[in-house]
Chain A
Amino acid sequence: MTHNKDTVKSNSELLLATEGVSKSISSKTILQDINLKIHEGQILTLIGPNGAGKTTLIRIILGILRADKGSIYLRPSLRIGYMPQKLIINSTLPITVAGFLRLVRPRKDNEAANLLERLGINHLKGQQITSLSGGEMQRVLLARALLRDPHLLILDEPAQGVDIAGQSKLYDLINEIRAEKGCGILMISHDLHVVMSTTNEVVCLNHHVCCHGKPEDISNDPAFLELFGASSSNNLAIYAHHHNHEHDMTGQIKSSE
């Protein structure tokens, strides 16, 4: 339970830990022996190619799926705010932004209005959810997650469908909220260039944990480079490129442990 104190402030409380979590779906191994820890105020970002099991892991942590093996520790009475990858609402269901947000009981009533103002979605309250743009939708989803005043925020590709300018704004906002509330954040992201500048710890997942550590350490990890090299994904290529230019580490082989 204490072996990775190098990445964590020693006085902050443990919010979430997975120990040896494994999951197979129709005899295909999706996750193998996953160990993660998130403390208060910490941002942990899961990266990895599509189909690597990132969303499955999140679903297990949320209790939507059950792991075949391993255990999940959640701090007692932990409130989780969850922002899913997408919200697909059947077009036969009329619901306004206000109606959607009313489905969750806010912890503090007067905070709801502040939050909407801050996320810049107050003017959208009367609009139908289905009429929102990608960026507006993501902010509404973030608002719903934050209305619970969570101890742990779990974000599945929060900037999906958001334009480049909006992306960094959104990540700034997430970072701001973390600093203010001191909540932990577990996030899946493909926006590696942004993520690397905000996250405390990166876990590179490809069914198993390829490598994990601080962003600057992990970028030189051979397992990490191998994974990116083997992948044809554009995101990863951009990322590798980005790193080639940074040259912030001299030794290429540097274990994260």
Chain B
Amino acid sequence: MENFIQLITSDFFLAALVSGLCLAIIAGPLGSFIVWRRMSYFGDTLAHSALLGVAIGLLTDSDPQLSIILSCLVLGVLLAFLDRNPSLSTDTLLGILAHSSLAVGVVFISLANSLRVNLEAYLFGSMLTISSRDLVWVFLITAIVILALAKNWNNFLSATVHAEIAEVEGINVKQSNLILVVLVALTIAVAMKIVGVLLITSLLIIPPAAARRLAKTPEKMALIASLIGSLSIILGLFGAFFLDSPAGPTIVVIASIFFAVLYFYPSASNKN
């Protein structure tokens, strides 16, 4: 018990908790869009390629968080343009990009091993080593995403429901899709430190999927997803402490349990 009190008042735990909650809050609505627009593979590709950003950061000796953000942004925009070209099989292309960039990233990072980089930290997250500098990034990006979502919510939703009607009604669909991709890229860039490259997408899509059956409107689904995500972060962090397991995967396990329970539980909201 003393341990526990010590834990929850310690700086590293609080940093982990706060950054995790920030991520969960923005992942709710953004993840909902990813689910609605069937973009989960897209998010995966972006996440895997984020490792390239780490490698580039190491090679150029720059702030890794900055190089991760930049490479996620560049790739996100690139992928958004590729997505507009229907003659390419997007599915295959994303698969190739996701895994080749992951592989290139891993190879580069191991080549730069003299810098004592912990590859596992990037693959599965290292929540308990979040620095105050990381926290600044998390706050900054959370603020950007929340503001952008609030400002563009109706446009995003309209473009998701029916892109052509939205276009005719005067919404710049291409631009709003691009903004959405940029927000996802930013979120993935900060989520990397928290849950790691391999589990980022799960934190984006599992809470909305779990929230689906409880919600009758898009706004409620996003909100409930944020709640489920936040609960997963809290329970996952405590779970990781008691089980002595890595925090990122524990959080994802909790989120998956939420999903399984809500999906298979015959709830009252079942009637629609």
Docked-complex contact B164 and A103, CB < 8 angstroms: no
Q: Out of A64, A99, A144, which one reaches B218, CB within 8 Å?
A: A99
**Chain B residues closer than 8 Å to A94, beta-carbon distance:** 212, 215-218, 220-221
Q: Out of B87, B160, B167, B169, which one reaches A64, CB within 8 Å?
A: B167
| Min distance, Cβ B254 to any Cβ of chain A, angstroms | 21
Q: A82-B165, A82-B168, A100-B161 are in contact. Are A90 and B272 (CB under 8 A)?
A: no
Q: Out of B87, B154, B162, B221, which one reaches A84, CB within 8 Å?
A: B162
Docked-complex contact A64 and B161, CB < 8 angstroms: no
Docked-complex contact A82 and B161, CB < 8 angstroms: no
**Chain B residues closer than 8 Å to A144, beta-carbon distance:** 165
**Chain A residues closer than 8 Å to B184, beta-carbon distance:** none
Complex CA–CA separation, A32 to B166 (angstroms) = 28
Docked-complex contact A62 and B167, CB < 8 angstroms: yes
Complex CA–CA separation, A10 to B245 (angstroms) = 80
Task: Tell me if A104 is interfacial: C-beta within 8 Å of chain B.
Answer: yes
Task: Tell me if A89 is interfacial: C-beta within 8 Å of chain B.
Answer: yes
Complex CA–CA separation, A131 to B271 (angstroms) = 11
Q: A95-B217, A96-B216, A128-B216 are in contact. Are A90 and B154 (CB under 8 A)?
A: no
Task: Tell me if A1 is interfacial: C-beta within 8 Å of chain B.
Answer: no
Complex CA–CA separation, A94 to B269 (angstroms) = 12
Docked-complex contact A148 and B169, CB < 8 angstroms: yes
| Min distance, Cβ B32 to any Cβ of chain A, angstroms | 8
**Chain A residues closer than 8 Å to B169, beta-carbon distance:** 82, 103-104, 148
Complex CA–CA separation, A82 to B163 (angstroms) = 12
Interface string of B118-160 (1 = CB under 8 A from A): 0000000000000000000000000000000000001001101
**Chain A residues closer than 8 Å to B166, beta-carbon distance:** 103
Docked-complex contact B212 and A64, CB < 8 angstroms: no
**Chain A residues closer than 8 Å to B162, beta-carbon distance:** 84, 87
**Chain A residues closer than 8 Å to B164, beta-carbon distance:** 59, 62, 64, 82, 84
Identify which of residues 212-238 in chain B touch chain A, using a CB-to-CB cut-off of 8 Å. 212, 215-218, 220-221
Chain A: which residue is nearest B212 at the CB level? Answer: A92
Q: Out of B35, B37, B38, B217, which one reaches A96, CB within 8 Å?
A: B217
| Min distance, Cβ B165 to any Cβ of chain A, angstroms | 6
Docked-complex contact B167 and A92, CB < 8 angstroms: no
| Min distance, Cβ A144 to any Cβ of chain B, angstroms | 7
Interface string of A49-89 (1 = CB under 8 A from B): 00000000001001110000000000000001110100101
Task: Tell me if B209 is interfacial: C-beta within 8 Å of chain A.
Answer: yes
| Min distance, Cβ B214 to any Cβ of chain A, angstroms | 9
**Chain B residues closer than 8 Å to A110, beta-carbon distance:** none
Task: Tell me if A230 is interfacial: C-beta within 8 Å of chain B.
Answer: no
Task: Tell me if A93 is interfacial: C-beta within 8 Å of chain B.
Answer: yes
**Chain A residues closer than 8 Å to B38, beta-carbon distance:** 90
**Chain B residues closer than 8 Å to A131, beta-carbon distance:** 272
Task: Tell me if A26 is interfacial: C-beta within 8 Å of chain B.
Answer: yes
Docked-complex contact B165 and A99, CB < 8 angstroms: no
Task: Tell me if B36 is interfacial: C-beta within 8 Å of chain A.
Answer: yes
**Chain B residues closer than 8 Å to A104, beta-carbon distance:** 158, 169
Docked-complex contact B158 and A93, CB < 8 angstroms: no
**Chain B residues closer than 8 Å to A59, beta-carbon distance:** 164
Complex CA–CA separation, A144 to B166 (angstroms) = 11
**Which of A62, A95, A144: most chain B Cβ within 10 A?**
A95
Docked-complex contact A92 and B36, CB < 8 angstroms: yes
Q: A26-B87, A82-B168, A128-B272 are in contact. Are A93 and B220 (CB under 8 A)?
A: no
Complex CA–CA separation, A82 to B164 (angstroms) = 9
Docked-complex contact B218 and A92, CB < 8 angstroms: no
Q: A99-B217, A128-B216 are in contact. Are A92 and B35 (CB under 8 A)?
A: yes
Docked-complex contact A103 and B217, CB < 8 angstroms: no
Identify which of residues 84-136 in chain A touch chain B, using a CB-to-CB cut-off of 8 Å. 84, 87, 89-90, 92-96, 99-100, 103-104, 127-128, 131
A-B contact pairs, 29 of them (CB 8 A): A62-B168, A63-B167, A64-B164, A80-B168, A81-B168, A82-B169, A84-B164, A84-B165, A89-B161, A90-B37, A90-B38, A92-B36, A92-B209, A92-B212, A93-B36, A93-B160, A93-B218, A94-B215, A94-B218, A94-B220, A96-B216, A99-B217, A99-B218, A100-B161, A103-B154, A103-B158, A103-B166, A103-B169, A127-B272
List residues of chain A with CB under 8 Å of any chain B CB: 26, 59, 62-64, 80-82, 84, 87, 89-90, 92-96, 99-100, 103-104, 127-128, 131, 144, 148, 154
The 8 closest A-B pairs by CB, nearest first: A82-B168, A93-B36, A103-B158, A94-B215, A92-B35, A128-B272, A94-B216, A62-B168
16 new A-B pairs (CB below 8 Å) besides A64-B167, A93-B218, A94-B218?
A62-B167, A62-B168, A63-B168, A82-B169, A84-B162, A84-B165, A90-B36, A90-B37, A92-B208, A93-B160, A93-B221, A94-B221, A96-B216, A104-B158, A127-B272, A128-B272
